Amino acid sequence: MSQLVETSSYLSSLRERATTKLTNGIRSDLSRASTSEAMAVLFKLASSPSTAGDALALLHELQVHQVEVEMQHEELRCSRVELESDLIRQTARVERAPAAFLVVDEASVLCEINLAGARLLGAASHDLLGRPLSSFLSAPSSEQLQKMLTLARSGAVPETRELQLLPQSGVVRKLLCSAGREVPSGRFLLVLLAPPSSS
């Protein structure tokens, strides 16, 4: 164990000396030095018989660091691939969900909507984005929606309330709606479902 401590101490000392040489005696962050400057110091150390051993030790440490960085890079790349795959999977699940998922801003303007939401509102997604959800609701339901957004803004537990869509072809449709705040964006996530039919 003491040999390990000595080796670590020696390498720290070596790094300190190399940093001092590289920065002309002024303490500085080694990351600011260019690769060519670092290689020049290493070459100088290797050229002198009295410091050739130091150069080899420093070179070994640099190689170990390079391998560590390459391994970390590979781990990050793998993590990124996994995260991107998870994102694609989750996005597909939300897009194909039977419930309508909508993201609206403070003024109830539609920012995102899945296929079920577009079907429920009776238009293509691209035609709905940028329009206020309140424009599809009866006046009392628009007020109800604003109350739900106010509650969600305050962090209250989402409640499910009934909203009424404006009549389409003479048909009045009611929906169950739940609203929650999306913390990162400050927007609101709404989940809309057609109520179970009473038979």
**Greater model confidence, 87 or 22:** 87
What is the pLDDT, as a whole number, of residue 91?
Answer: 87
What is the pLDDT, as a whole number, of residue 150?
Answer: 92
**Adjacent-strand bridge partners of 191:** 101, 178
Q: Write out the two tokens for 37.
A: 């400057």
**Greater model confidence, 113 or 60:** 113
Which amino acid does the sequence have at 167?
A: P
Q: Is the pLDDT of residue 67 over 90?
A: no
Residue with the two structure tokens 């991107």 = 84
What is the pLDDT, as a whole number, of residue 26?
Answer: 47
User: Do residues 172 and 164 make contact, with C-beta atoms less than 8 angstroms apart?
Assistant: yes
Within its chain, how far is the Cα of 28 from the centroid? 33
User: For residue 116, what pLDDT band results from cuts at 50, 70 and 90?
Assistant: very high
Which of 92-96, 104-108, 125-129 shows the lowest per-residue confidence on average (mean pLDDT)? 92-96
**Greater model confidence, 61 or 88:** 88
- The secondary structure of residue 160, as a DSSP letter, is E
User: Do residues 102 and 110 make contact, with C-beta atoms less than 8 angstroms apart?
Assistant: yes
User: Do residues 180 and 188 make contact, with C-beta atoms less than 8 angstroms apart?
Assistant: yes
**Greater model confidence, 24 or 196:** 196
The predicted-structure confidence for 168-182, as pLDDT tens digits, reads as follows 888 888 999 999 998
Residue with the two structure tokens 């003491």 = 2
User: For residue 27, what pLDDT band results from cuts at 50, 70 and 90?
Assistant: very low
Mean of all residue pLDDT scores within the chain: 83
User: For residue 5, what pLDDT band results from cuts at 50, 70 and 90?
Assistant: low
What is the pLDDT, as a whole number, of residue 133?
Answer: 95
What is the pLDDT, as a whole number, of residue 1?
Answer: 46
Residue with the two structure tokens 């080694």 = 30
The predicted-structure confidence for 10-26, as pLDDT tens digits, reads as follows 666 666 666 665 555 54
SS3 189: strand
Q: Is the pLDDT of residue 7 over 50?
A: yes
**Greater model confidence, 50 or 173:** 173
Average of pLDDT values for 114-136?
93
What is the pLDDT, as a whole number, of residue 177?
Answer: 94
